[in-house]
Amino acid sequence: MNIQNESNIKRFRKRKWNEITDKDNIPICDKVHSELNWKIIKYENLNLSYCSTFLSSCDSQRFFTELEKEVKYLSGDLAKVRVYGKWHNLPRQQAAYGDIGLTYKFSGFTIPALSWTSTVLELKTRLEELIPYKFNFCLINRYRNGTDSIGEHRDDEKELDNETPIASISLGQHRDFVFRHKDCRSKNLTRKIEPYKILLENGSVLLMNPPTNTYWYHSLPVRKKLPGIRINLTYRRIVSK
C-alpha cells in the first residue's frame, strides 16, 4: 500500500466514525464503521461502541503472549485496596503505562506511569489509527482466573479528559461486563433502569464514550466457570493541570 492510499483510508475511517457518533438518542442497534462492525449502544446516557473483531485471532494471541512477558504489575501497598477500613489484596493484578511524568489518582492511590512498552504502544497506535482521539495513559488489569474481578465504579476522575472515550481492549478469556445506572444502586429506588451487560471477547475493543462515566457504574463480576487469564488494557487521556 502506498502512503497516499493509506492516508485516504485513515481519513475515511475518521469521517465514518464522526457520522456515527454525532447521531444522538438512537436505540440499541448495530452500525458499520469502515472495515469493522461496531455495535453502538445508546440508552439513558449510556453511550458505548463495541467491536468484537478489532484484532484477529493471530494478533490477539501475539499481543497476549508479548504482554505476559513485558508488563510489570504493581506490588506492595499499591496492590491493595481499602474496604470499610481494612486493607485487602486487589482481586486482580494492575499496571500503568504512559507518557513520562503522568500519574493517575483513583481509590485513594496515586499510580505513576511506567514508560510505554513496545506492545502497549503498538496497541495504542492501532487505536489512534481507527478513531480520532489521542491517548497518553494505559491502565492494565490482569484477571488471573474467574474469581478475579473488579467492583462497581465510575472512571470519572478529574484528571481524565471528559471529551475523550476510555478505550478498553480485551485479550484472553471472555468475561461479562455490567453497567448499572447511578440512580439504581440504592435500596430506595426512584427510577427503574435495567442494567446493561455485554460480553467482552478476545480481541475486542469497547469505547465508553461521554457521558457514560457520569451516569453509569461498571464492573467485571466473578465468573468461577471461566478460569482463563484475561488481560484488559484501558487507554485514557489525562489532562495536565
Q: Check residue 2 and give its pLDDT.
A: 38
Q: Is the pLDDT of residue 1 over 70?
A: no
Q: Is the pLDDT of residue 212 over 80?
A: yes
Closest CA to 168 of 198, 140, 133, 207: 207
Q: Which amino acid is at 217?
A: Y
Q: Is the pLDDT of residue 3 over 90?
A: no
Q: Check residue 88 and give its pLDDT.
A: 75
Whether domain 3-73+119-236 has CATH 3.20.20.150: the reply is no
Q: Check if the beta carbon of residue 240 is closer than 8 Å to that of residue 160.
A: no
Q: Which amino acid is at 184?
A: C
Q: Which residues contact 152 (CB under 8 A, 6 or more apart)?
A: 180, 185, 217, 218, 219
Q: Please, which residues bridge with residue 105 across strands? A: 110
Query: Per-residue pLDDT tens for 83-105?
Result: 667 777 889 999 999 999 999 88
Backbone angles phi, psi at 200, to 5 degrees: -90, 115
Q: Check residue 48 and give its pLDDT.
A: 97
Residue 15, H or E segment: helix 3-21
Strands 137-143 and 150-153 turn out to be unpaired
Q: Is the pLDDT of residue 155 over 50?
A: yes
Dihedral, CA atoms, 37, 153, 164, 112, nearest 10 degrees?
-120
Query: Per-residue pLDDT tens for 107-132?
Result: 667 889 999 999 999 999 999 999 99
Q: Is the pLDDT of residue 16 over 90?
A: no
Q: Check if the beta carbon of residue 206 is closer than 8 Å to that of residue 198.
A: yes
Domain map (residue ranges) of the chain:
3-73+119-236
Q: Is the pLDDT of residue 4 over 90?
A: no
Q: How confident is the model over 22-29, as a mean pLDDT?
A: 34
Nine-digit cell string for 152: 462497581
Distances (CA, A) of 137 to 76, 114, 205, 212: 22, 10, 16, 19
Q: How confident is the model over 203-231, as a mean pLDDT?
A: 97
Q: Which residues contact 93 (CB under 8 A, 6 or more apart)?
A: 73, 74, 79, 141, 142, 144
Q: Check residue 120 and give its pLDDT.
A: 98
pTM to 2 decimal places: 0.83
Q: Which amino acid is at 241?
A: K
